[in-house]
Structure 1
Amino acid sequence: MSVTAPAPAASADRPSEPVTTPGRRPRAWRAHLTVALVALAMAGYVTHGLWADPYTHVLADNVGDQAFFEWLMGYGYYTVTHGADPFFTDLLNAPLGVNLAANTSITVYTVLMTPVTHLAGPQISFVTVLTLNLAGSAFAWYLFLRRWLVGNAGAAAVAGLFCGFAPGFISHANGHLNWTAGWVAPVVVWQVLKLREEGRWLRNGLTLGVLLAVGFSIAAEGLFYTALASGIFLVVWSCAEAVRQEARAALGTVLRALAVTAVVAGALLAYPLYMHFAGPQTFSGTGFNQKFFAEDLASYLSFPSRSLAAMAGLHKDLAPNATEETSFFGVPMIVLMIAGYLLLRRRVAPGRRATLRAVGVVGVVFVVLSWGPRLFINKHMYHFPLPYAALQHLPLFNSALPVRLSLVVVGVFGILLALLLDELLSRRIKLGTLHTALSAAVVVSLLPLVPLPLRVQHRSPEPAFIANGTWKRYVTDGGTISALPFALNVTADGQRWQAYTLARGGEHFRIPAGYFLGPQVAGEAGKKRQGQIGAPPRATDWLFLRAAWWNYVIQLNNADRAQARADFEYWGVDAVFLPAEITGSDHQTLSRDAVLATAIDLLGPPERVDDVLVWRIRRGLDPVDR
């Protein structure tokens, strides 16, 4: 059977042993169960720092994204119980609101996790989904490779675990519930390969349409990459002389199935797609510079920061940040993949060779595109344009980050690794020097990439003022309240505390600002505004942010207070409060004293309520200079 070929075919060479012969089913199920348990154990090991204390531990390398996804969990419960719009909310970024369809709303996850969110909190929902994403990705790749590629369960298991726990996905485990859903790719591709089954075009088209809708909800950008990679593969594979007739015979069935897929996916995604591209508070781009969120060429030859190799001091700091180490395969793995590809091409039948060629083309295309519009080598930028420069302004590409395209290379390497291991474990490469050398190369390539647990740090616990509902005495019905400093990716406490309130049900409050992607204040006439991180900044939230981050306190005057009155009126804020501690990012200590001094100078003395300091805004701001 050809690697990821559209269906079983007479021209395609089969795996070394049958996958589903009746006599082998008990053994197959034992293998499945073993791989599932190993994958779950590895995922628990990687995330154990959060499980140790999910309520006061946070991912040190990405406090903001964890807060955002915890907020989505809380909002998911609110959506289900209040019938709210899952793709737009005015609870964040008051009074403008946030387009959740243009963000990563993971709606399917938030709805499925509503019982856990309500009973145990968004913190538990977050770490549960993160753990199951990692384990499920490895297991899905194992099943995919076992079904479509190799007959040896050990080869599929090792390659599947590599795909699920590859450096790029461990890196994204720092807060990205969308990108750790690596299972979306093998599940969608699996169904794509079934489209050519005779007599089943309607069922297969329906199934793929539903899968695309689910995938869009969970990982829209990843789904786009999967579709792009599948298209490139199928075009290259179909053009190979060995399978051209086979591909031509299947074309009609595939087109009928794709028509059904388009209708089903279009119906399910009509509203979210409208919201994503034309809804309120939508934007162009992502708020991140594509030029710098691109792969450094040297990163492919380097080792990731959360790996055994890094413990030996072999890590290189070449990624845009700790959550974007999306390649970092290391020299041994790159050498193994190139040598393994050349070896396999010499040994396989024509049908399999056509598949290998298509897989190789996909790998090369995505490696080159991941370099972005300009080439970086060891952090030095060369100014000649690369192929991505011609794509970066096109729809969809303008909302993607090139650095993440290298995650497709994980799947390509997983396929090559499975094929190579199948040759070794099935002894088709006979025992001897070559067998020993390749076996050693596999160990040397994989061992340095064994992941380390994610880094965690302490975060400020939910104050009793919020947990006990005392805040209700200070906020009008459906009103707005904010922690100081205002919520942002680097000061996310207020946003996650709002999430916990939403998850408990009952009354809720709005907050100004927040961590999300939204449009800039102004844009060119007739054009969609560019995206940015968070709300358009105003003078007053900046006043508190720089006090917290840089311990920066200034002597305020009447102009500052007049601006604050205007800002608070714009946000509709009823009250602000200062908790006992402020969570920083990457173990950073933020200055509560500077925030307190700024707040007293601006608003006067606070009330001590439960475990926080509270300022009632309506009486806190007066026109007299203090």
Structure 2
Amino acid sequence: MFAESPTCATLPPVPAPPLAAPSAAVRAERGGRGWLGVAALVYLAISLLLQHRALGDFAGSAIGRTSTDATGFTWWLAHTAHALTTGTNPLVTDLQHYPVGVNALWNTAVPLLGVLLAPVTLTAGATAAFNGGMVLGPVVSGVAAAAALGGIVRSRVARATAGALYAFSPFMVAHLQAGHLNLVWAVLPPVLLALAHRLFVRDLRRPWLLGALTGLALAAQTWLYTQTLAIGVLMLVVLAMVLAVRYPGRAADRLPALVEAGVSCLGVFAVLAGYAVYLLLAGPARPRAPLRSPEYGSADLANTIAPTWLTAIRAVPAPIGMQGNLGEQGGYLGVAVLLLLLLTVLTCGTAAGIAAAVGAVAWVLELGPQLFVAGEPTGVPLPWRALVKVPLLGEVEPVRLQVVVTLAVAVLAGLALDRVPRPVALVAVVAAMSWIPADAQRTTSAAVPAHPQLAGQVVETWPRITGDWYGGADPLRAQIASGFGYRLSGGYFLGADADHPLLLQSPWNRYQAGAALAQEWPTLAAPPDPAGAARDLREVGVTVVLVTPRPGEDPTPVLDWTRRVTGSEGVPLEGAWAFPLAATLHG
């Protein structure tokens, strides 16, 4: 994005002079990457400290304050490893939502991480793999940010500090507590920063190679999480526009090389991610309606200066009400950071100005199509409104552009620390301290019984599988524990079927409606139409109903209803009852 100079990064003049041989001091500064290893170890120590509650039960407790998203990611990690060992398709599966199935690219399947973590999944279990990914995500993201600043910030200490700010920012900490494995691997933004710096600013000698590397980065992100891909491409365009406005002559001179890089990028991306794009645009079981209201996932203006209790140092004793759930309230900057940004822009020249401009655009876009303040809509229209109709990009939750704002802050902090000794560096230190995470990370239990007796069956579960934050997707964990020996008629996913253009979980049927009635009002008359409920189950191929009594609830009414529907007395399993419907239990 920017070039370096002895004091503050500035863009080279136009035309760029021939590259001079670096001095011995500069060679020593650039030489070697051992400092990145040291930074990685420090980041790892911080990440382990944040997640210390998981370390004593790494395979039995999942990182995150809520269980359902963690369960979803764990299921996909386990499914990818299962598919690799059985030779089945890891990207389209009917192991849940049978017989329609689910499309991995429309869900948080993180297939790239599924492959990378498969050795852990197959040896220590999917929960251990998920926890390992949650610990390592901020570490790898921080190292990527520190490395990306090599052409912008000279000081290794400044770069390492900027990487730590990015790795353990309010954005990252919020998604850590929400169990969002896909978002704590925020590697693409700093990688695109490094590539953009070479494409747009530095001596462009082999544009085809840089284009190919960019295509590789975008393809890898496609196999990780598509929302971050869309955000990365959007902000790459924003950066190019900012530089073109600032340096129109240089933009014209570089246009042929950039076209060459673009063709190379598209070619590599098409080869490596073409199938993923097909699954997104035309694949089976994909949603056929908008996923959410355009205003869902908008950031709250108040979050810019008001932290949540995930931040250690707070100006108020308790967080105020804000738009979105806690996992999406990671946009805190704070007064100290805002002062740092102002001082850096005023004292650090072109590089700081460009970083601030890109960060400011991302900040405005993250606020969504209308302004929210302290959880209340104001009706004030905002620029994101113009993007909600753009294919794929319109499905992005704008609040997640906070990752770009965070990276811009890290760049500016690195520039400030690079200018020592001076008061700006002191403000940078204070700003960094204001982002120190609180000891607030939690875990949820991942322990569930296995049911190998259900091998080969299609299973309906009660309680039904839902997106409820606490325990809603637990039947998916039981399926993992059973080695994917059976299919589930229910599921927690984004998808569709013939009757529903959008599903966030499997639709209700008459068996589930009767079970809910029996559970909530056990003193009323028995639920009606058990024969109709049985027909609903048989129509989707269900062969067994699995009832798992909830702690503290009397299971008798639901068990009686299930007996009426299935015509079976049921078979007791560990912590559950199985009722054959159209096939006998195995084993």
Scaled to the shorter chain, the TM-score interval is 0.7 to 0.9
Q: Report the Cα distance in structure 1 between the residues aligned to 2:54 and 2:223, rounded to whole angstroms.
A: 25
Q: Report the Cα distance in structure 2 between the residues aligned to 1:137 and 1:514, rounded to whole angstroms.
A: 31
**Does the CA contact (< 8 Å) of 1:302 and 1:331 recur in 2?**
no
Q: Give the structure-1-normalised TM-score.
A: 0.83
**Does the CA contact (< 8 Å) of 2:344 and 2:352 recur in 1?**
no
**Does the CA contact (< 8 Å) of 2:463 and 2:548 recur in 1?**
no
**Does the CA contact (< 8 Å) of 1:480 and 1:573 recur in 2?**
yes
RMSD: 3.1
Q: Report the Cα distance in structure 2 between the residues aligned to 1:538 and 1:285, rounded to whole angstroms.
A: 22
Written as runs of structure 1 = structure 2, the 5 A alignment for 1:442-457 is 442-453=428-439, 455-457=441-443
- Structure 2 counterpart of 1:47, one-letter code: Q
- Structure 2 counterpart of 1:307, one-letter code: T
- SS of equivalent residue, structure 1 residue 613: strand
The 3 A distance-change label for structure 1 pair 512 and 537 is same
- In structure 2, which of residues 560, 572, 577 is the aligned counterpart of residue 608 of structure 1? 572
- SS of equivalent residue, structure 2 residue 153: coil
Deviation larger for 483-492 or 303-312: 303-312
Query: How far off its partner does 1:539 sit?
Result: 3.8
Q: Report the Cα distance in structure 1 between the residues aligned to 2:548 and 2:314, rounded to whole angstroms.
A: 37
> How big is each residue's C-alpha offset from its partner over 1:480-502, in whole Å with a ceiling of 9 and x where there is no partner?
12443122222111112223344
- In structure 1, which of residues 373, 384, 390 is the aligned counterpart of residue 386 of structure 2? 390
**Does the CA contact (< 8 Å) of 1:72 and 1:110 recur in 2?**
yes
Q: Report the Cα distance in structure 2 between the residues aligned to 1:593 and 1:619, rounded to whole angstroms.
A: 29
- In structure 2, which of residues 435, 456, 462 is the aligned counterpart of residue 484 of structure 1? 462
> How big is each residue's C-alpha offset from its partner over 1:570-604, in whole Å with a ceiling of 9 and x where there is no partner?
33222233446x5xxxxxxxx55255532323326
Query: How far off its partner does 1:458 sit?
Result: 4.5
**Does the CA contact (< 8 Å) of 2:63 and 2:131 recur in 1?**
no
Written as runs of structure 1 = structure 2, the 5 A alignment for 1:27-106 is 29-59=33-63, 61-106=65-110
> How big is each residue's C-alpha offset from its partner over 1:187-235, in whole Å with a ceiling of 9 and x where there is no partner?
2332333346544233323222222111111121112111111211122
Query: How far off its partner does 1:29 sit?
Result: 3.8
> How big is each residue's C-alpha offset from its partner over 1:291-321, in whole Å with a ceiling of 9 and x where there is no partner?
1421111111111321212597243331411
Q: Report the Cα distance in structure 2 between the residues aligned to 1:597 and 1:311, rounded to whole angstroms.
A: 51
Partner of 2:479: 498
> How big is each residue's C-alpha offset from its partner over 1:422-455, in whole Å with a ceiling of 9 and x where there is no partner?
11x3x2x3xxxxx2xx455334332232113454
Q: Report the Cα distance in structure 2 between the residues aligned to 1:287 and 1:596, rounded to whole angstroms.
A: 38
Partner of 1:256: 260
- SS of equivalent residue, structure 1 residue 295: coil
- Structure 1 counterpart of 2:538, one-letter code: E
Partner of 2:123: 119
Matched, 1:307 2:293: no
- In structure 2, which of residues 352, 356, 362 is the aligned counterpart of residue 366 of structure 1? 362
**Does the CA contact (< 8 Å) of 2:64 and 2:70 recur in 1?**
no
The 3 A distance-change label for structure 1 pair 286 and 131 is farther
Gaps of 5+ in 2: none
- Structure 1 counterpart of 2:544, one-letter code: A
Q: Report the Cα distance in structure 1 between the residues aligned to 2:24 and 2:382, rounded to whole angstroms.
A: 43
The 3 A distance-change label for structure 1 pair 395 and 310 is same
Matched, 1:204 2:173: no
Matched, 1:234 2:240: yes
How many aligned residue pairs are there? 567
**Does the CA contact (< 8 Å) of 1:3 and 1:356 recur in 2?**
no
- Structure 1 counterpart of 2:180, one-letter code: H
Written as runs of structure 1 = structure 2, the 5 A alignment for 1:385-464 is 385-423=381-419, 425=420, 427=421, 429=422, 435=423, 438-453=424-439, 455-459=441-445, 461-463=447-449
- In structure 2, which of residues 267, 290, 295 is the aligned counterpart of residue 291 of structure 1? 295
Query: How far off its partner does 1:286 sit?
Result: 5.9
**Does the CA contact (< 8 Å) of 2:48 and 2:135 recur in 1?**
yes
Q: Report the Cα distance in structure 1 between the residues aligned to 2:363 and 2:539, rounded to whole angstroms.
A: 47
Query: How far off its partner does 1:287 sit?
Result: 3.3
Matched, 1:574 2:543: yes
Query: How far off its partner does 1:140 sit?
Result: 0.9
- Structure 2 counterpart of 1:50, one-letter code: A
- SS of equivalent residue, structure 1 residue 323: helix
> How big is each residue's C-alpha offset from its partner over 1:68-92, in whole Å with a ceiling of 9 and x where there is no partner?
1111111111221222223211111
Query: How far off its partner does 1:519 sit?
Result: 2.8
- Structure 2 counterpart of 1:485, one-letter code: P
Q: Report the Cα distance in structure 1 between the residues aligned to 2:251 and 2:64, rounded to whole angstroms.
A: 49
- Structure 2 counterpart of 1:270, one-letter code: G
- SS of equivalent residue, structure 2 residue 365: helix
Q: Report the Cα distance in structure 2 between the residues aligned to 1:554 and 1:564, rounded to whole angstroms.
A: 21
**Does the CA contact (< 8 Å) of 1:102 and 1:277 recur in 2?**
no
**Does the CA contact (< 8 Å) of 1:181 and 1:219 recur in 2?**
no
Q: Report the Cα distance in structure 2 between the residues aligned to 1:7 and 1:256, rounded to whole angstroms.
A: 26
**Does the CA contact (< 8 Å) of 1:77 and 1:111 recur in 2?**
yes
The 3 A distance-change label for structure 1 pair 389 and 521 is farther
**Does the CA contact (< 8 Å) of 1:163 and 1:414 recur in 2?**
yes
Q: Report the Cα distance in structure 2 between the residues aligned to 1:515 and 1:607, rounded to whole angstroms.
A: 26
Q: Report the Cα distance in structure 2 between the residues aligned to 1:324 and 1:297, rounded to whole angstroms.
A: 13
The 3 A distance-change label for structure 1 pair 596 and 414 is farther
- In structure 2, which of residues 442, 446, 454 is the aligned counterpart of residue 471 of structure 1? 454
Query: How far off its partner does 1:284 sit?
Result: 4.7
Q: Report the Cα distance in structure 2 between the residues aligned to 1:459 and 1:543, rounded to whole angstroms.
A: 29
The 3 A distance-change label for structure 1 pair 97 and 299 is same
**Does the CA contact (< 8 Å) of 1:95 and 1:572 recur in 2?**
yes
Query: How far off its partner does 1:254 sit?
Result: 2.0
**Does the CA contact (< 8 Å) of 1:300 and 1:328 recur in 2?**
yes
Q: Report the Cα distance in structure 2 between the residues aligned to 1:64 and 1:341, rounded to whole angstroms.
A: 42
The 3 A distance-change label for structure 1 pair 342 and 7 is closer
Partner of 2:511: 540
- SS of equivalent residue, structure 2 residue 272: helix
Partner of 1:617: 581
Q: Give the structure-2-normalised TM-score.
A: 0.88
The 3 A distance-change label for structure 1 pair 508 and 453 is farther
Query: How far off its partner does 1:537 sit?
Result: 2.8
Q: Report the Cα distance in structure 1 between the residues aligned to 2:446 and 2:221, rounded to whole angstroms.
A: 34
The 3 A distance-change label for structure 1 pair 244 and 332 is same
Partner of 1:150: 153
Q: Report the Cα distance in structure 1 between the residues aligned to 2:425 and 2:170, rounded to whole angstroms.
A: 21
- Structure 2 counterpart of 1:534, one-letter code: Q
Q: Report the Cα distance in structure 1 between the residues aligned to 2:366 and 2:123, rounded to whole angstroms.
A: 42
**Does the CA contact (< 8 Å) of 2:323 and 2:375 recur in 1?**
no
Q: Report the Cα distance in structure 2 between the residues aligned to 1:144 and 1:119, rounded to whole angstroms.
A: 34
- Structure 2 counterpart of 1:132, one-letter code: L
**Does the CA contact (< 8 Å) of 2:4 and 2:152 recur in 1?**
yes
Q: Report the Cα distance in structure 1 between the residues aligned to 2:2 and 2:24, rounded to whole angstroms.
A: 14
- Structure 2 counterpart of 1:100, one-letter code: A
- Structure 2 counterpart of 1:497, one-letter code: A
